[in-house]
Each structure stands twice: as C-alpha cells, then as structure tokens.
A and B are shown apart, each in its own frame.
Chain A
Amino acid sequence: MAKTALCRTEECPKNGMKAVIAEGGLQLLLVSSGEAYYGYQALCPHMDVPLEEGFYDGAVLTCHQHLWQWDIHTGQPMGDAEEPLARHEVREEDGTLYLVTPETTP
C-alpha cells in the first residue's frame, strides 16, 4: 500500500469539497461528509465538467451542467445520472488527507 499526501485536512471544508491534483497528475475531488472523507474523479463522467463547480449538501453531489447527481457515500448515480463516479481511497491521518493506492508488486 502506498500513501500520497494530498492536502491538509482543513483545506477540505466540513461537508464540503475540494479538487486536488495528486502526484502523477491524477485529478481528484475530495469530499467531506460528517466524519468521513471520500475521493472521487474530479470531472463529471457525462461531459468532463469539473464537479467542484457543482452543488454539494453534505450527502448528494450535483453537477451544475446537466444536474446529474450521486450519493456521496457510494458514488452511485441518482435520478438522471447514467454512470457512477470512480472512487479513490482516501485516508485522514494527523491533519493530512492521503491518497491510498495498492502497492504495485515488482
């Protein structure tokens, strides 16, 4: 397992979201919900619109372009949305948010 620091925890507002770029150029949307943090693809799977520009109420994420919506706890589509969001494992440790990736075996 490899850990990459993404940002300080406080940079992602409580029940809010923040877009970051991880090492290697992976664009991620960090989302806080209650005590949990999630990492999802940063662009809408519909038309590549940045999801950070959308609306988020602490539970449901809405892309502002065509109002596709997802359950933030699962990434599963709601209503009109046709595709789930790709999830990336994120962990909070000592005030820092990390991207967790499986160790590649040599």
Chain B
Amino acid sequence: MKILVTAKTQAFSFDCEPGEKILHAGLRSGIALPYECGTGTCGTCKARLVRGAVHEAWPEAPARAAFKPDSGQFLMCQCQAGEDCDLEVSAVVRPMPPETGRPGALSARLRRRALLTHDVASLELELERPLDFEAGQFVLMTAPGIAGARAYSMVNFDPQAERLVLLVKKKPDGRMSEWLFGDTAPGTRVGLFGPMGGATFHPDVAKNLLLIAGGSGIAGMMSILSRAAQDRYFERHSGHLVFGVRTRRDLFFLDELAAFQAGSPRLEITIAGSDEELDPELAARYPRFAFAKGLVHAVAGERMTDRFENIRAYAAGPPPMVDATLRMLVVQGRLSRDNIRYDKFS
C-alpha cells in the first residue's frame, strides 16, 4: 500500500506492508517521522487521515484520549493501513541523514535472563541478523500471545551487534514484564523493531557528559558509557553519572560502573538514594563513588553547581523524574535544547 504523508514543509511517500505499522514503514523507508515512545502513550506520532482507511491496533492507547472525535487523528505507531492512504503530519519532517542506520523489523531469541534486583531484570537476546545502533537507543519488543509492543533500552554497545542486552522493570499487572519475570523459556522467539530514539551519544559531540538516570533508566547510560570507554572519551572530556534509586535494594550495576570508572580517570559517579541514606558499607566497597541522599535531579543540580559550561546532558527514567531533570537542566543549568537529550517513555 502507498502512504503519502504531507508534513509542514515537505511531502513523502512510502510503501506499507499489510499488518505493518505506518510509523515503522516510514522509518524503515528513511523518513524521520515524529515519534517518541513508539508504544501509544506519548502522542508525538499523531497524524490526520485525509484519504483512505487505517486499522487501529490499540483503540484504547492512552495518547488517543486527547484526540477529538471525528478529527481523523490517529497514532502512526498503532495503526496499519487498510488501503492507500493520504496523511497530514503537523510537524517538520525530514529524510534521515544517509549515515544513520535505518530501523527495521527483526526477530531474536531470548538467551538469558538475570534478576538484578527484586523488580529489575536484564535480558540477553540473540539477533537473527547483526544490528547497528547508537548508544542510548531502544528497541520495541513484541512477544508471543501478548498484545502490543514495549520499549526497552539497550545496555550494551557494539557495532554490528549480534546480541542485545535490555533492562526490564517489573510493572504491576504489566503482561510483558510478568511474562519476562515468569518462567519464560530460553530460546523463545520475540519480535523487535529498531533501533529507535534520539537520545543518542556519539563521540563527535566532544563535550563533557552529564548522565542522569533514575532506576532502570540506567540502561541507556550503560550503553553510552560503553561507547565512551571504547573511544577513550573520558581521556579528553569529563563525565558525571548520577544514578538515582529509592533504597539500597534498588541498586544494581555498581560493579559494572566501578569498572567503567577504573578505566576513566575523568568519570565521576554519584549514587543518590531518595528514601534512605545508602549503606556506609557501600562507600567502603566503592571508594570512588560519591553517595548522596535526595531525588536524583536535585542531587545532580547541587553537585553540578557552576559546572554546566560545555555540557551535553542525557536523562532517562520514570516520566516525573525526567520532567524534574529537564526543568533543572533548563532553569538552573541554562543548557540549550540541543544539549539536552532524553526519551520519555514509561
């Protein structure tokens, strides 16, 4: 089927396969359609149907609640084309730069699952074909018998990656996380679409890094730290990771973080506990980490006082934490939009 998208300054056309989401078809064709979460919650990918018919895969998608009835509005991440369609997108849309890897659908097998805390697990997936992605990106995952896709950030960074490591947070009544935390058999096949997301790090940015993560939002930061380590980035620039959790039992990846720091003299790591003072025993075990009590955005703001010059900041975590962090980076840090990278998805 042919899709014609009229955006603010330019029109594009691309093919969409039966059963394929319109957003995926556009991205795979190299058109940078607007999106953020890819899972029906943020509303960034909304479009208006001018001609044709679309099939709503998830009529209850939260972002649809704001749409006026009969407005013809729909979410490109949740809809398939029923026939040739003309759409309007009220954003500036550009073709993807030729050097960017184009996202696409691929399948993978579950290799290993490790519980990191009571409600966070890492998943290792073996890909059917190698995948190039940027540090800080995510994939959409679908599983057999579970409706809809979930977004998970990559922890690892490897060019032409043959495996992905993802972090999964257990959600109350979350069908996907229940399945992943249950006795899911190794070897189970899952569907992926990606890579996605614009909160990416490339060494060419040549700025000091400020990485602010809440809980499982640390996933993308691990990928950025891997990328930076492979490039010896912290020999030329400084870095500061602020990792916020509620309590001691929510912490994980400390050994991995200490290993990054061992090879990076200019990498500073602060661990923030919002609900309790973190065990003094931790300070003995990780002597180069700083520990603080407080919300992660406040701890980051306090520790970065007068150090926002030449900073590129990344934020990931639960939406209220990301919002508070953005406010801090804009109001206190006076960083420009270009130097604040985040993807909001819950």
Q: Chain A interface (Cβ within 8 Å of chain B)?
A: 46-48, 55, 57, 62, 64, 66-69, 79-80, 82
Once A79-B337, A82-B8 are accepted as A-B contacts, the answer to whether A67 and B326 lie under 8 Å apart by CB is: yes
The closest CB in chain A to the CB of B329 belongs to A67
**At the interface, is chain A mostly helix, strand, loop or mixed?**
loop
Distance of A71 from chain B, by nearest CB (Å): 14
Distance of A23 from chain B, by nearest CB (Å): 23
Let me know if A62 and B330 touch, CB within 8 A.
yes
The closest CB in chain B to the CB of A81 belongs to B337
Once A47-B43, A82-B92 are accepted as A-B contacts, the answer to whether A55 and B337 lie under 8 Å apart by CB is: no
Q: Chain B interface (Cβ within 8 Å of chain A)?
A: 8, 43-44, 46, 66, 91-92, 323, 326-327, 330-331, 336-338, 340
Distance of B115 from chain A, by nearest CB (Å): 34
Chain A-chain B contacts (Cβ-Cβ < 8 Å), number: 29
Cα–Cα, bound, A48→B67 (Å): 11
Let me know if A64 and B327 touch, CB within 8 A.
yes
Let me know if B336 and A64 touch, CB within 8 A.
no
Let me know if B331 and A64 touch, CB within 8 A.
no
The closest CB in chain B to the CB of A48 belongs to B66
Let me know if A55 and B330 touch, CB within 8 A.
yes
Let me know if A80 and B43 touch, CB within 8 A.
no
The closest CB in chain A to the CB of B326 belongs to A64
Known: A69-B337, A79-B337. 19 other contacts (CB 8 A): A46-B91, A47-B43, A47-B44, A47-B46, A55-B326, A55-B330, A55-B331, A57-B331, A62-B330, A64-B323, A64-B326, A66-B44, A67-B337, A67-B340, A68-B337, A80-B337, A80-B338, A82-B91, A82-B92
Cα–Cα, bound, A79→B338 (Å): 8
**10 sample A-B contacts, Cβ–Cβ < 8 Å, listed by A number:** A47-B43, A48-B66, A57-B331, A62-B330, A64-B326, A64-B327, A79-B336, A79-B337, A79-B338, A82-B8
Q: In the assembled complex, which residues on chain A have CB atoms less than 8 Å from the CB atom of B43? A: 47
